Each structure stands twice: as structure tokens, then as C-alpha cells.
Structure 1
Amino acid sequence: MECVFGLVGNGFAIVAADTSAVHSILVHKSNEDKIMLLDSHKLIAASGEPGDRVQFTEYIQKNVALYQFRNGIPLTTAAAANFTRGELATALRKNPYSVNILLAGYDKETGPSLYYIDYIATLHKVEKGAFGYGSYFSLSMMDRHFHSGMSVEEAVDLVDKCIMEIRSRLVVAPPNFVIKIVDKDGAREYAWRESVKDNPAPSA
């Protein structure tokens, strides 16, 4: 029941993801951060099989860092998206990853951007996108309320609308979400929307 969605506003991109780690009918934890910082100005939000999601996003993160270390300049968001798509396409014919990705970034020359990359290595630059069961509701909400050039406040309000719709309409809805933003000042965590707190493990 994963939910990952994002959009591009005026000078920034914002992404949100549920924080539930589940297997079958079991919830293992409800504070799993599924949005990774690729570098100072890039975010990668992923959904899919937990093992594939963690392994693949860490692999991309380390290779983006390796490129910057070797060449002295960071990859652009478009280059990082194309590299990610290439790795998914290569794996598709050997040992495919079951992972869907929204890659958000900010470049000085081109501004904010959002890339949609699915598990069969489809790549599209989009203004809004979503994966998972929550996409049925978040995409329809964004179709109705999204407009180009949104302010941060408008975008966060729309993200909150999407979260509320997912919680009220999805039969097994994830309770908690994390929201992150990337703009000229860098990529950072913006807020958590929590309705369930994980209980601390009992002491022995």
C-alpha cells in the first residue's frame, strides 16, 4: 500500500512518501524514510520491494557521489535521472529491480525538475507524478488543484490534501508520511505527517 508522489513549483520541487515498512499483513515499522538525499540538491523517492528499494537507491547514491569525487563536479538532475534509468534498463535483462522512482533536483541553469522512472526503465520529465496505490487519489487531486508556478505554501497544502485523501479513501492506508523539498538552498526534510507513533522496544 505504498504511496510516493511529488510536484514541481516555483523554484522548488517537493516529494512525499509514506513511511510504512510492511510485509504481507504485517507492519514492521511506521517510520521508514523512503526519500533519500542523492547529493546536496537531489532527492530520490522510491517505492517497491523493500530489499530492491534500499539496495538500488543506495547504489545510485554511491555512484552519483563517485562521479562527483572523480570529476570534481556533480551530475545534473537530468544526468542523474538518465544514469538511474540506464542502470534499471541494464538490470531488467539480468536481475530486475522491483522499484519505482521519483527523482527531484535543482540545477542553477535549469531550476527545479522532477523525473518519473518506473521499474521497466521508463523515464519522463514531469511536473507532477505518483506511484503506488495512493497514486489513484493523489494524481486526481493534483489534476484538480495543481497549477504551474505554485508557491511552497500552495504545494504543501496540496500535498496535505493528497495525504488526507489517501488516509480517508484507501482501505489499508499508511498512517505516516514524510515530506522533503529541494530548491536553490539544497535538499532537506520539510515535515512529517504522523498519526501513529512507533512504540519503543521493551527493555529486557
Structure 2
Amino acid sequence: MECVLGVVGRDFAVVAADTSAVQSILVHKTDEDKVMVLDSHKLMGASGEPGDRVQFTEFIQKNLHLYQFRNTMPLSTAAAANFTRGELATALRKNPYMVNIILGGYDKDVGASLYYIDYIATLHKIDKGAFGYGSYFCLSLMDKLYHPDMSLEEAIDLVDKCIKEIRLRLVVAPQNFVIKVVDKDGAREYARRELVGDNAAPAEAAAPTTIPA
């Protein structure tokens, strides 16, 4: 029941994802960060098979760092998206990665941008997008409420509406989400939306009921 979503605003991009690590009917943890900071001005939200997701996102992150070390300049967001798409396309013919990606970034000469990359290496530049079961509700909300000149507060409000709808409508809905933002000041975590957590205090035990003789 994973969900990753992204929105581009006036001069920023927002990427959000659930934080559940799930296998079959078991929830292993509720604080898994699925939005990776690739470098100072890029974010990658990913969903899919846990092993593929972790391995592939780390592979992309380290290769972007390697490029910057070798060339003393980072890849642009568009170049990073095309590099990611190329690696997925190469793997598709060998050992495919089951990973779907929302890639957001900020470039001085271009501004904020957002890219949709799925597991079969489809690449599109988008203004808004989502992956996972939550996308059934997020995309319709985005179609209704999104506009290109959104402020950061408006974009976060739209993300919160998507999260609320996911929690309300999905039978087995992830409860916790992480929201990250990238703009001219860099990529950073903006907020977490949590209902439950691994460190939540246990409920008090009910007093034993005395059964009369």
C-alpha cells in the first residue's frame, strides 16, 4: 500500500512518501524514509520492492556524487533524471529493478522541476504525480486543486489533503508520511505526518474484571 507523490510550485518541488516497511500482511517498521536526498538540490522518492528500492536509490545517489567529484560540478535535475532512466532501461534487459520514482530538483537557470520514472524506464517531466495505491485518490485531488503558481503553503496543504484521503479511503492505509522540499535553499525535510510510531507509548492495561462467585 505504498504511496509516493510530488508537486512543483512557483520555485520549489515537494516530494512526499509513506514511511511503512511492509511485507505481505506484516508491518516491520513505520519510520522508513523513502525520500532520498541525492545531493544538495535533488530529492528522489521511490516505491517498489524494498531491496530494489534501497539498492537502486543508493546506486543513483553515489553515482551522482561520483560525477560531481570527477567534474567539479553536479548534474542538472534533467540530466539526473535521464541518467536514472538509462540505468533502469539497461537493467530492464538483464535483471529489472521493481522501482517507481518521483525525482524533484532545483537548478539556478531552470528553477524547480519534477520527473516521473517508472520501473519500465518511462520518463516524463510533470507538474504533479503519484505512484502506488494512493495515486487513485491523489491524482484526482491534484487535478482539481493544483495550479502552477502554488505557494509552498498551498502545496503542503494539497499534500496534506492527499494524505488525509489515503488514510480515509484505503482499506490498509499507511499512517505515517514524510514530506521533503527542494528549492533555491537546498533539499531538506519539511515535516512528518504521523498517527502512530514505533516509539508510541503503550496503552494502559485494563483493570482485571472481577467475576462474582
Partner of 1:106: 106
The percent of aligned pairs where both chains have the same amino acid is 79
Amino acid at match of 1:193: R
- 1:197 deviates by 1.3
SS at match of 2:172: coil
- 1:166 deviates by 0.3
Alpha-carbon separation, structure 2, partners of 1:78 and 1:172 = 35
Residue 67 (structure 2) pairs with residue 57 (structure 1)? no
Alpha-carbon separation, structure 1, partners of 2:33 and 2:77 = 21
SS at match of 2:120: coil
Partner of 1:22: 22
How many residues are paired up? 200
Alpha-carbon separation, structure 2, partners of 1:28 and 1:43 = 25
Alpha-carbon separation, structure 2, partners of 1:140 and 1:187 = 27
- 1:199 deviates by 3.4
Partner of 2:93: 93
Q: What's the CA shift string for 1:143-171, capped at 9, x where partnerless?
A: 11000110001000000000000000011
User: Which one has the largest radius of gyration?
Assistant: 2
Partner of 1:167: 167
SS at match of 1:59: helix
SS at match of 2:56: helix
Partner of 2:211: none
Amino acid at match of 1:183: D
Alpha-carbon separation, structure 1, partners of 2:126 and 2:151 = 18
Partner of 2:187: 187
Alpha-carbon separation, structure 1, partners of 2:84 and 2:20 = 24
Residue 151 (structure 2) pairs with residue 151 (structure 1)? yes
SS at match of 1:147: coil
Partner of 2:126: 126
Q: TM-score, normalised by structure 1?
A: 0.97
Amino acid at match of 2:27: V
Q: What's the CA shift string for 1:31-58, capped at 9, x where partnerless?
A: 0000000000000000000000000000
Partner of 1:46: 46
> Runs in 1 of length 4+ with deviation above 6 angstroms?
none
Amino acid at match of 2:144: R
Unaligned runs of 5+ in 2: 201-213
Unaligned runs of 5+ in 1: none
